[in-house]
Structure 1
Amino acid sequence: MKSYTILISIVAALGGLLFGFDTAVIAGAIQYLKPFFQLNDAQIGLVVAAASLGCIPGALFAGRLADRFGRKKLMIVTSLLYIIAALGSGIAGSFVQLVVYRLIGGVAIGMASTLAPIYISEVAPPTFRGRLGMLQQLAIVTGILLSFISNYLIVNAHYSFLSNDNFWRYMLAAAVIPSVIFFILLLLVPESPRWLVLKNRIDEAKKVFGNIYSNAESTAQVKIVTDDIASESTPALKDVFTPRFRKVVIIGLVFASIAQLTGINIVFYYAPLIFEKTHVGGSVLYQTMLTGVVNLIFTVIAFWLIDRLGRKKLLIFGSWVMGLCMFTLAALFYLNMLQNYFVLITIFVYIGGFACTWGVVLWVYVAEIFPNKIRGTATSIAVFGNWVANSIVSLTFPIMLASCGAAVTFGVYGVINISMVLFVSRYVFETKGVPLEKIEALYTQV
């Protein structure tokens, strides 16, 4: 694999880094936002949820627009939205302004979570597509960790212009730096060669393929993609649900949605409170940063697994690990056995289990299982389902926690994780090493 392919994939994945940064940075800013704007709990919830709400339309329309205008152009628009959201959040003069800019940031996150996997899957050689597709998840967890580090450095910096009244401004505005870098680097990457073929721009596509493959291979790639899609027009939304594509679209939608039902976000949301109760392993801030480190380490480990073991084996293994960890947490809460290192170990194993299985496979799989003709639109639908499920989990978790208690809540998520083994075993088909143009033959056999 050429270094050129790795570099352009890394640039596309930077949208994921901003995705991770923007979704995690708000956690550190809340304690300073609340007194500054005198927010009640409902308003705090809206500030936090605004990004997730913005993700829904961002994800839903990004693929369709990318099919029409190109992957690169839409990623550039995404980078500009990131810059606007970061600057606007940092200078927001009112609660309403802050929510609006958080919504804009959410639209950018939703678009990035759709566009980067599509672009990477379309420039990656089949043998390395899994590892390159994982760059999206690696970037996300890196962004989460960077947000933890950035918040810590800002609060502990000894500069006269920093105070409790403006810590949150610098925390939220810090995303401007990677956003500008993302914008500049996007100007240097090529358009997706498969999209160029779709638009009958064959000479341009051959040039891009020439930078990814050898000259002989690039000619062959153009012919393969041309035979697959050049004669087909971009589908209308209703065409995506025709009998030819309906099965794989539903599989992708359900798969992306249930990835949120693993409960990964509730573990991150609830981890600080658990850490406060354990009184082991150092400060809450230190332990929270450790979750980011564990997340990153196991995402890196997955680089050596995804194209060796395949997607399906990783998903089944991850569901068993996460299910057992959820049942363990439920038991620890039920028995009130929280003041021991076993709680920390269970949380870290759970995060590691998610990071090297569902966390990485999600973004690879939803971008590679759809035929070329519908990839943009169908990936948007799948990622849209992921963000809707994210919002539902975020909304129902505190309600379940208050009405049912932690033991029952974690027990329910344990059942869900184990049940996901059945879905993966029956409906997820292996795509390891399969050219994108051959994917359609696989799902028709499911």
Structure 2
Amino acid sequence: MKFYTIIISAVAALGGLLFGFDTAVIAGTLQTLRHYFELSDAEIGGLVAAASIGCIPGAFFAGRLSDYFGRKKMMLVTALLYVVAALGCGIAGSFSELVIYRFIGGLAIGMASALAPIYISEIAPAGVRGRLGMLQQLAIVLGILVSFISNYLIANTASELITADNQWRYMLAAALIPSVVFFFLLLFVPESPRWLILKDRVQQARRIFGRIYFAAAADAEVEIVQADISKAARKVKFSEIFSPRYRKVVFIGFVFAAIAQLTGINIIFYYAPLIFEKTHMGGSVLFQTLLTGIVNLIFTLVAFALIDRVGRKKLLLGGSAVMGCCMLVIGWLFYRENLDNYFVLITIFIYIGAFACTWGAVLWVYVAEIFPNRIRGSATSFAIFGNWVSNAIVSYTFPIMLSGLGAAATFFAYGLINAGMILFVSRYIFETKGVALESIEEHYIRTTPVSNL
């Protein structure tokens, strides 16, 4: 693999850094915003969920638009939306304006969550596709951590410009810097060669493959992609992803992406300060939240060594088991009100570590690699659309569940969901480790019997 391939994959993955930053930065502002705008639990849930709701159309249309305009052009649009959202959140004059700009940020996040995995999967050699695809997750994790660090530093900065009443503005506007950097770096990356072949721009694709692969491999890759695309008509309607030929794999991708949110990972990152407020460990809740971001990063790095070696399915099964146990333990500790020690924090760290090196590592790789070339854009968007619908539901309902049902019942519920996910993975998820993109359709037909669906 050439270093050039790593560089352009990393640039595409920067959209994931902004994805992680924008989704997690809200955690550090909730306490201030609750008092600043006098918000109820439902309004807090609505503010957090606004970004997730924006992600739904963003993810749904991104793949289809990228099939028409190209992966690179749509990533540039995504970067511009990030800029608008960061500026808007920083100067919002009312709660309604803040929700609108959070929604715009959500459009960008949804688009980035679909486009970066598609782009990376289409330029990555099969043997390292898992690790290159994981650059998206690594960038998301770095974005989450950077947002926690940024929030912590801003909250502990006393000056004439940054006060207790307006620090939330600086926290939310901080995304402006990486947004501008992302836009300018995108100007230097090439278009996806597989998309170019879909558009009959073969010579241009050949030149780009030549920069990604060594000469002989580049020519072979062009021939493989051309042969795969020529099997069917060039133009694909969105409705075709539900045809009998593709329905099975689209079902698997959609449900898989949706239930990834039911692990409960984002209730930790979005609402960590609210959770830590309910414990009796003392210390800064923002600092404890920052520690969760560090753990997330460490175990994401561990996943790099595992995903192309252990495989996707084994990681998912192991992660669901550990995460389910952790959620049940946390629920039990809240039920017994045994919160005057660091066991809750340690259990949360184990939970985050398990997610980071299993579901977090596999999600963005898997949803972009399981679909055939000709439907990848639309099918990946549809799968990630399911992810964000589920995310919006979880984001909105968690503070209501926390105040209405109590922490114990809430975490017990997520524990049972994680345990139940083992059944879905066991029955429907097929292994893709080391399988070429052009061979995956045949692979899932062979390994996933129709009777299972």
TM-score by length of 1: 0.96
The alignment yields a C-alpha RMSD, in angstroms, of 1.6
| Displacement after TM superposition at 1:72 (Å) | 0.3
Paired amino acid for 1:294: V
SS at match of 1:309: coil
> Hey, what's the Cα distance between the residues in 1 that align with 2:297 and 2:27?
18
Show the counterpart of 1:74: 74
| Displacement after TM superposition at 1:363 (Å) | 0.3
| Displacement after TM superposition at 1:42 (Å) | 4.0
Show the counterpart of 2:304: 303
Paired amino acid for 1:238: S
1:331-410 → structure 2 map (5 Å cutoff)? 331-410=332-411
The C-alpha deviation readout for 1:34-78, integer Å capped at 9, x for no partner, is 444454544433322211111110010000001111000000000
Asked if 2 retains the 8 angstrom alpha-carbon contact of 1:234 and 1:374, the reply is no
The C-alpha deviation readout for 1:93-112, integer Å capped at 9, x for no partner, is 23222222111111000000
> Hey, what's the Cα distance between the residues in 2 that align with 1:89 and 1:274?
24
Show the counterpart of 2:21: 21
The C-alpha deviation readout for 1:233-275, integer Å capped at 9, x for no partner, is 2311111110100000000000000101111122334543443
Show the counterpart of 1:431: 432
Paired amino acid for 1:56: I
Show the counterpart of 2:164: 164
Identity %: 70
Higher alpha-carbon deviation: 313-322 or 277-286 = 277-286
Show the counterpart of 1:316: 317
Paired amino acid for 1:32: T
| Displacement after TM superposition at 1:398 (Å) | 3.5
TM-score by length of 2: 0.95
SS at match of 1:308: coil
Asked if 1 retains the 8 angstrom alpha-carbon contact of 2:24 and 2:270, the reply is no
Show the counterpart of 1:57: 57
Asked if 2 retains the 8 angstrom alpha-carbon contact of 1:325 and 1:349, the reply is yes
> Hey, what's the Cα distance between the residues in 2 that align with 1:29 and 1:109?
19
Asked if 1 retains the 8 angstrom alpha-carbon contact of 2:9 and 2:120, the reply is yes
| Displacement after TM superposition at 1:283 (Å) | 2.5
| Displacement after TM superposition at 1:183 (Å) | 0.2
Paired amino acid for 2:67: D
SS at match of 2:309: helix
| Displacement after TM superposition at 1:33 (Å) | 3.3
> Hey, what's the Cα distance between the residues in 1 that align with 2:359 and 2:170?
33
> Hey, what's the Cα distance between the residues in 2 that align with 1:293 and 1:252?
29
Asked if 2 retains the 8 angstrom alpha-carbon contact of 1:259 and 1:386, the reply is yes
SS at match of 1:401: helix
> Hey, what's the Cα distance between the residues in 2 that align with 1:167 and 1:281?
23
The C-alpha deviation readout for 1:381-429, integer Å capped at 9, x for no partner, is 0000001111122233344434443323222222211111111111111
> Hey, what's the Cα distance between the residues in 2 that align with 1:404 and 1:158?
38
Asked if 1 retains the 8 angstrom alpha-carbon contact of 2:45 and 2:396, the reply is no
Higher alpha-carbon deviation: 232-241 or 297-306 = 232-241
Q: Does 1:442 align with 2:440?
A: no
Paired residues, number: 446
> Hey, what's the Cα distance between the residues in 1 that align with 2:91 and 2:408?
42
Show the counterpart of 1:233: 234
SS at match of 1:444: helix
1:41-120 → structure 2 map (5 Å cutoff)? 41-120=41-120
Distance 1:346 1:134, change over 3 A: same
SS at match of 1:364: helix
> Hey, what's the Cα distance between the residues in 2 that align with 1:341 and 1:40?
30
Q: Does 1:253 align with 2:254?
A: yes
Distance 1:393 1:47, change over 3 A: closer
Q: Does 1:203 align with 2:203?
A: yes
Paired amino acid for 1:326: M
Structure 2, unpaired ranges of 5+: 449-453
Asked if 2 retains the 8 angstrom alpha-carbon contact of 1:193 and 1:209, the reply is yes
> Hey, what's the Cα distance between the residues in 2 that align with 1:397 and 1:101?
22
> Hey, what's the Cα distance between the residues in 2 that align with 1:443 and 1:101?
41
Asked if 2 retains the 8 angstrom alpha-carbon contact of 1:82 and 1:105, the reply is yes
> Hey, what's the Cα distance between the residues in 2 that align with 1:106 and 1:249?
24
Structure 1, unpaired ranges of 5+: none
| Displacement after TM superposition at 1:213 (Å) | 0.5
SS at match of 1:134: helix
Asked if 2 retains the 8 angstrom alpha-carbon contact of 1:277 and 1:339, the reply is no
> Hey, what's the Cα distance between the residues in 2 that align with 1:59 and 1:389?
13
> Hey, what's the Cα distance between the residues in 2 that align with 1:373 and 1:262?
31
The C-alpha deviation readout for 1:306-358, integer Å capped at 9, x for no partner, is 00000001000001100111121122122221112221211110010001000
Higher alpha-carbon deviation: 189-198 or 233-242 = 233-242
Higher alpha-carbon deviation: 162-171 or 436-445 = 162-171
Asked if 1 retains the 8 angstrom alpha-carbon contact of 2:114 and 2:384, the reply is yes
